Structure 1
Amino acid sequence: MTLDEIKEKALPVLRKHHIKKAGIFGSFAKGTFHKRSDVDMLVELPVERQVGLLEFVSIKLELQKVLKRKVDLGEFRAIRPQLKEHISNETLFILND
């Protein structure tokens, strides 16, 4: 699966949930993925409305369904400060409205 394929399949789910920013990091961003790799994705949730745990899990499950892979979903604001620079440097954005 290429980054373009991930983008094509994930964008409808991300837009449905009003996500303005999403990026891929980890093995897909580095080009070291294999057939069993998961997709590491960070999103910026809309500030204007509360997204609870159930909706967050729903987004993750919808992404897993369309990508046919396990998705590790995180939020940009929740990245630990020690990891923020490293992850930010390798993140490839698939959505940045």
Structure 2
Amino acid sequence: MEVELSISAKKKTRSVSQRGVKTAEEIAEILRSQMPELSRRYKVASIGIFGSYLRGEADEESDIDLLVDLEDGDEPLTLLEFIALENHLSDLLGAKVDLVEKSALKPAIGRRILEEVQMV
């Protein structure tokens, strides 16, 4: 009987914690509303969601996987600016962001990401 209670308690905890996880649609809405600032401040040309949030498999421990395409320009973002962008996005979305630059994708994983990503 104790085992059944533990299992029930775990299921309830899991479903309660999932209510706090944003959906891909909510994330996309936030990103869309912030695109003018992201473009001006960080040279973001486009941004998209992939991974567990897009597939609806995210939980409170999941990070948000974002693919970013930066504007071509004379001065690319420095590493510190890229980290600042990643931190800014984490603050906006209320969860850790794993930011991947489109031009830095490796062929094997890049193909999978490009097939899955939903641009906003």
Same fold (TM over 0.5): yes
Report the TM-score when normalising by structure 1.
0.86
Q: For the residues of structure 1 that align with 2:54 and 2:103, how far apart are their CA atoms?
A: 20
Higher RCO structure, 1 or 2 (CA under 8 Å, sep 6+)? 1
In the alignment, what sits opposite 1:6?
27
- More strand per residue: 1
Q: What is the one-letter code of the residue matched to 1:2?
A: T
In the alignment, what sits opposite 1:79?
105
Question: 2:24 touches 2:56 (CA, 8 Å); kept in 1?
Answer: no
- Cα deviation for residue 66 of structure 1 reads 1.1
- Cα deviation for residue 14 of structure 1 reads 4.1
Q: For the residues of structure 2 that align with 1:12 and 1:86, how far apart are their CA atoms?
A: 27
Which of 1 and 2 has greater Rg? 2
Report the TM-score when normalising by structure 2.
0.71
Gaps in structure 2 of 5+ consecutive residues: 1-21
In the alignment, what sits opposite 1:51?
77
- Cα deviation for residue 31 of structure 1 reads 1.4
Gaps in structure 1 of 5+ consecutive residues: none
For residue 20 of structure 1, give the secondary structure of its aligned residue in structure 2.
Answer: strand
| Percent of aligned pairs with the same amino acid | 33
- Cα deviation for residue 8 of structure 1 reads 2.4
Q: CA RMSD in A?
A: 1.5
For residue 98 of structure 2, give the secondary structure of its aligned residue in structure 1.
Answer: strand
State how many pairs are aligned: 94
Q: For the residues of structure 1 that align with 2:106 and 2:56, how far apart are their CA atoms?
A: 24
- Cα deviation for residue 32 of structure 1 reads 1.0
Q: What is the one-letter code of the residue matched to 2:31?
A: A
Q: For the residues of structure 2 that align with 1:53 and 1:22, how far apart are their CA atoms?
A: 18
Q: What is the one-letter code of the residue matched to 1:36?
A: E
Question: 1:40 touches 1:72 (CA, 8 Å); kept in 2?
Answer: yes
For residue 25 of structure 2, give the secondary structure of its aligned residue in structure 1.
Answer: helix
Greater Cα offset, 56-65 or 42-51: 42-51
Question: Cα deviations across residues 29-77 of structure 1 (Å, max 9, x unaligned)?
Answer: 2111112211000101111242111111111111111111000001011
Return the match for 1:24 from 46, 49, 60. 49
